[in-house]
Amino acid sequence: MATVGEVLRGEDVVAERDPWLGRRPLHLRLRFLQGESTGSYVTRLAARNLWPVEELLVRVGVGPMPVEPQYTEMYVSRYARERLANLSGCSVAELSLRLVSVRDEFLMPDGSSEDWEWPWDARAGYIVQACSLCAASRGTRSPAWLILPDPWHVCLRHGRWTDNSRSDQRPYIDLRDHPGVVRAQQRLNRVRKRLGQSAARWIEADALSVLTYVEYLEDPSCARDPEWALLAARVGEQRARPVAQFGMLSRLARDMAWMEERRRAGRLSAADSRDWLLRVARQRGSAFRRPLEHWISGHRPLRHARQASGSGAGSPGEMEVAGQEAAPLASLQDLTCLPWVRMPNEMDRLFL
């Protein structure tokens, strides 16, 4: 299948590996940005050394001409990963820790004739613009790009929401205008700390599914709260929707985490569930009652885990659940066990 690189730049392909190049670290190193995409890192590393990206790629192996990192993710062969680690002055293990998309599960198949590719779409995750102030603190002035399981990113340090919109005019949403969103991210962080990363992701996924069911702030341009109507007017309702939903997503996730924590500890009685449901429906709105009833009745964490890892059915016990990890780039859509799924922001496939 043709990749973006081939279509955009046709014949212009590096033909042979040069074993003499790329064995030593580059003169100038680069600090990693958390969650950065491989394409973004390679582009920054070249720029840091005052090279065009092609110049760096010659040292990494053979393959198509580069594509700008905001469009898609770059995937590499085992050979290219080693070379890239050399050039970066770190081990393959560290590189794989820092750049999710060079991990084993995303490597190009052994025996590929090329060492990197730029498919039409990232294989997993979303390309999201990095907070430019965080990037600047890593010595980068041009936009840097992250590969994340969610199509958005909240920088608590600089109070910025970035997403997968690639807008030049409005690269981020300033959270000084939306303090509730900052609190929401802090709330989610506390849930993650309490439950663990994977369990918290599953809970967030189910909370998002519940929001989809009740169509909570589905169209922020019609919101009664002027905060969201104004934001929708400014950045469009697609970009505004997840921002507007974020507060409720975090509160619901916290509510559901309360249940989950007790359930995992074997301390949940039928009466607890009933009281919980009444309390949450009273606080969040009666529309939430039905989907949450559904969640309680059908919620089997292990089923989530199995969906996320793509393996078959079974009925193992709770202890196994605790050990299950959500794939690092699995989206909330992939993780939920509830039937109502729609990401709040579907701006992707920019070429189509």
Binding site for Zn ion (CB under 5 A): 131, 133-134, 155, 157-158
Nearer to Zn ion, 91 or 137 (CB): 137
Nearer to Zn ion, 162 or 336 (CB): 162
Token pair 């949403």 in the structure block, residue: 173
- Chain CA centroid to CA 211, Å: 19
Nearer to Zn ion, 134 or 144 (CB): 134
Instruction: Round to whole Å and give the CA distance between 280 and 133.
Output: 38
Nearer to Zn ion, 99 or 131 (CB): 131
Quote the least distance from Cβ 147 to Zn ion, whole Å: 17
Quote the least distance from Cβ 45 to Zn ion, whole Å: 20
β pairing state of 160-163 and 173-174: antiparallel
Quote the least distance from Cβ 137 to Zn ion, whole Å: 8
Instruction: Round to whole Å and give the CA distance between 344 and 347.
Output: 10
Token pair 């081939």 in the structure block, residue: 6
Nearer to Zn ion, 134 or 240 (CB): 134
| Region class of 50: left (phi > 0), else alpha (psi between -120 and 50), else beta | left
**Coil vs helix vs strand at 229:** helix
Nearer to Zn ion, 131 or 337 (CB): 131
Instruction: Round to whole Å and give the CA distance between 141 and 138.
Output: 9
Give the count of beta carbons closer than 10 Å to the beta carbon of residue 297: 8
Quote the least distance from Cβ 171 to Zn ion, whole Å: 12
Tokens of 143: 């936009």
Nearer to Zn ion, 155 or 211 (CB): 155
Quote the least distance from Cβ 158 to Zn ion, whole Å: 3
Instruction: Round to whole Å and give the CA distance between 235 and 175.
Output: 13
Phi and psi at residue 76, to the nearest 5°: -125, 165
Nearer to Zn ion, 77 or 165 (CB): 165
CA distances from 61 to 22, 26, 58, 263, 298 (A): 9, 15, 6, 51, 50
Quote the least distance from Cβ 156 to Zn ion, whole Å: 8
Quote the least distance from Cβ 159 to Zn ion, whole Å: 8
Which of 157, 163, 159, 161 shows the shortest CA–CA distance to 176?
159
Quote the least distance from Cβ 152 to Zn ion, whole Å: 14
Token pair 């053979």 in the structure block, residue: 62
Find the residue with minimal CB distance to Zn ion. Answer: 131
Quote the least distance from Cβ 212 to Zn ion, whole Å: 29
Instruction: Round to whole Å and give the CA distance between 257 and 293.
Output: 15
Q: Report the sign of the C-alpha dihedral through residues 82, 87, 91, 94, in that order.
A: negative
Nearer to Zn ion, 134 or 188 (CB): 134
